[in-house]
Structure 1
Amino acid sequence: MAKVRFKGYGEVEVPVGTTILKAAQGIDAPEGYACGGVCACSTCHVYVTSGQGLLSEQEDEEADMLDKAFDVRANSRLGCQSTIEREGEIEVEITRESLEAFENEHPEHRGKYTTWRKSAS
């Protein structure tokens, strides 16, 4: 088992072989997934702040999709493509881009996670 902590949203223990996106969904963390988790968009973009070595290597397809994401950093990954390969602890920060995508996919949550948008209304 691996423990995945989503900054500000809680943590979950999941079996090796689980993606970061599936782990987020397991605790209802607001990670976007407009394409359904098939690496056809960048809305599940996250920052892996610790435990990167426990995840699968980034493939070319993921790197190509990250080229379309906002504020890409050295620790950027797509949640749908980041498979946990080893036991341990991983910490993830859900990006603003992903939070906005989640709210667009789930209108009932608009403004719940993206407080900066409330003041702009």
Structure 2
Amino acid sequence: MPVIKVLPHETLCPEGKTFEVATGEQLCESLLKHDIEIEHACEMSCACTTCHVIVREGFNSLEASDDDEDDLLDMAWGLTPQSRLSCQVKVAQKDLTLELPKYTKNHAREHH
């Protein structure tokens, strides 16, 4: 099973976290299931950028983003060439290392 390593984030994951997931699992759901309260203001419908992550390792193992995701990513805070919307990522067979951006473009943070 692939391993997801989340780098430390000041508020969402201060110590960082590592966990296993099943191949094909949606990344945003995996993060939430492992108590990393990443924002997902559009309820994972690819309509916002609040679940933006930066894939520091394993990026090339993921399926390519589609045009809808690319259009939204252009509006994400801290966009990098390795940026993805976690609601659109299905975990492949390789391990991933993720960085959670410091900010999101969300005017009101949800609590789930």
Please tell me the TM-score bracket, short chain as reference.
0.7 to 0.9
Unaligned segments of structure 1, at least 5 residues: 108-121
Cα-Cα RMSD: 1.9
SS at match of 1:29: coil
SS at match of 1:80: helix
Unaligned segments of structure 2, at least 5 residues: 9-15
What corresponds to 1:22 in structure 2? 29
Corresponding position: 1:68 with 2:75: yes
TM-score, length-scaled by structure 1: 0.78
Runs of 4+ aligned residues of structure 1 deviating over 4 Å after TM superposition are none
What corresponds to 2:13 in structure 1? none
Offset at residue 56 of structure 1 (A) = 1.6
Corresponding position: 1:95 with 2:101: yes
- Aligned residue pair count: 104
Larger Rg: 1
* Percent of paired sites with the same residue: 30
Whether the aligned pair in 2 keeps the contact of 1:45 and 1:97 (CA below 8 Å) is no
Q: Distance in 1 between matches of 2:99 and 2:89?
A: 13
1:58-109 deviations in Å (ceiling 9; x for gaps): 1111001111211211111100011112x221000111224x85x81029xx
Tell me the amino acid that sits aligned with residue 68 of structure 1. Answer: M
